[in-house]
Amino acid sequence: MKNVRCPNCGFSCRKHGRSNAGSQRWICKQCKCSFTNIITKDEVELQMFLKWLFGKNTQNEMPGQGRSFRRKTARFWELWPLPPKIEVSSTVVFVDGIYLARNACILICCNERYVLGWYICRYEHSRAWCALLQRISSPIVVISDGGTGFQKALKKVWPRTKLQRCIFHAFQQVKRYTTTRPKSLAGSELYGLAKALLTIKTQDQARLWIQNVMSWKIRHKVFLAEITIDEYGTIRPKHERLIKAENSLIKLINKQVLFTYLDEFLGFECPATNNRIEGGINAQLRAMLRNHRGMSIERRIKAVFWWCYMHSPNPLSYKEILKVMPTNKSISDIYNTMIMQSRLDNSIPTWGDAIVWSDLHNYDRSFSNSWD
């Protein structure tokens, strides 16, 4: 049976008899709204556009090499599918950022089933993370790969939410500095400790692992303290990359974000990695962009927005999407209005309370005013 969405809340509907005109009537399972679903030409073309966008077929495989398809669907590139406001709390959410270009990053938040929110920014920073998190109800645990500025935003927006750092990304960060074939004994041992991080299942194993890291630091203290002079005459640590790998683990240990998934008071099984968003969302987005490579940066951003919206908890029907989603023109009008309002606000002190009445009028002390 065709999956019909409610125009009010976006939940699935079921058949509910027929109208006097013989049209199929539907009723929402959530809000009990009854309606007839009249399919228009615009809805059919939007469905065709999304089917192409999420599929593998190229426009060259279409009749006429896709000229009719581009003419019919060009107006859908004007729409901006914006994220809904999530008011139902999730147990665990995953956050990550995917870069589409050098100065174009989309921050994404999801749970085990749906995409909860997304936000476009130039790069990962705390204000962008705050803008993403503010529209989503705070979960119990959030799993992150350590994006720039995320912890600062987390403390501000979700102060009671616990943070779990993806242990696979923690291992990858150490491997980036030591490589898979370290040339020193200290490097081999640290790489082994980072790799053992992926196998920890109990709190006793976690405490033993932390002790081993601290023992490694003491055992190789003299080796790590060696210095060298580079070609410019600057004194530098001789094993600088190894020190960075060590600091990356010590920092996570001190912040107590490595073993949140082992907390007995959570009451549920918490994941330790960010695999849900890496494999379930980012990989799908990259595959979509790869299948339709050659799009401009704006269309790549909108393609990601479309994918995220159609995988959100309760996307609207095609008819409602065409009715309520903003376009390039509407967003441009709002932006221009905000600019004009800002200019007006800046001009008020110049011609308002900053002016002194005596500066515009001559004042003669010999003149007396005897008004009552």
The answer to the question of residue 67 being in a domain is no
The answer to the question of residue 64 being in a domain is no
Residues 160 and 284 in one domain: yes
The answer to the question of residue 92 being in a domain is yes
Task: For the chain, give the mean pLDDT.
Answer: 87
pTM of the predicted model as reported, rounded to 2 decimal places: 0.80
The answer to the question of residue 199 being in a domain is yes
- Domain hosting 162: range is 81-166+273-335
| Percentage with pLDDT > 90 across the chain | 60
* Secondary structure letter of residue 143 according to DSSP: E
CA atoms within 13 A on the CB side of 261: 23
Residues 232 and 285 in one domain: no
Residues 154 and 277 in one domain: yes
Task: Supply the pLDDT for residue 345.
Answer: 65
Task: Supply the pLDDT for residue 360.
Answer: 47
Q: Which candidate, 94, 80, 167, places its Cα nearest to that of 132?
A: 94
Domain count, the chain: 3
Contact 316, 324 (CB under 8 A): yes
Q: Which two tokens stand for residue 265?
A: 């008071």
Residues 162 and 291 in one domain: yes
Q: Tens digits of per-residue pLDDT, 319-344? A: 889 988 988 888 888 777 777 776 76
Q: Tens digits of per-residue pLDDT, 191-213? A: 999 999 999 999 999 999 999 99
Q: Which two tokens stand for residue 242?
A: 């190894």
Average pLDDT over residues 167-172: 94
Q: Collect all residues with Cβ–Cβ distance below 8 Å to 14 and sequence separation of at least 6.
A: 26, 27, 29
Residues 268 and 177 in one domain: yes
CATH of the domain at 99: 3.30.420
Q: Which candidate, 16, 53, 61, 57, places its Cα nearest to that of 34?
A: 16
Residue 104 has φ and ψ, to the nearest 5°, of: -145, 110
The answer to the question of residue 66 being in a domain is no
Q: Is the pLDDT of residue 353 over 80?
A: no
Task: Supply the pLDDT for residue 367.
Answer: 47
The answer to the question of residue 62 being in a domain is no
List, as one string, the DSSP characters of 277-311: HIIIIIHHHHHHHHHTTT--HHHHHHHHHHHHHHT
Contact 115, 108 (CB under 8 A): yes
Could you tell me the pLDDT band of residue 102, with boundaries at 50, 70 and 90? confident
The answer to the question of residue 359 being in a domain is no
Residues 158 and 282 in one domain: yes
Could you tell me the pLDDT band of residue 2, with boundaries at 50, 70 and 90? low
Q: Tens digits of per-residue pLDDT, 301-321? A: 999 999 999 999 989 888 889
Residues 97 and 190 in one domain: no
The answer to the question of residue 283 being in a domain is yes
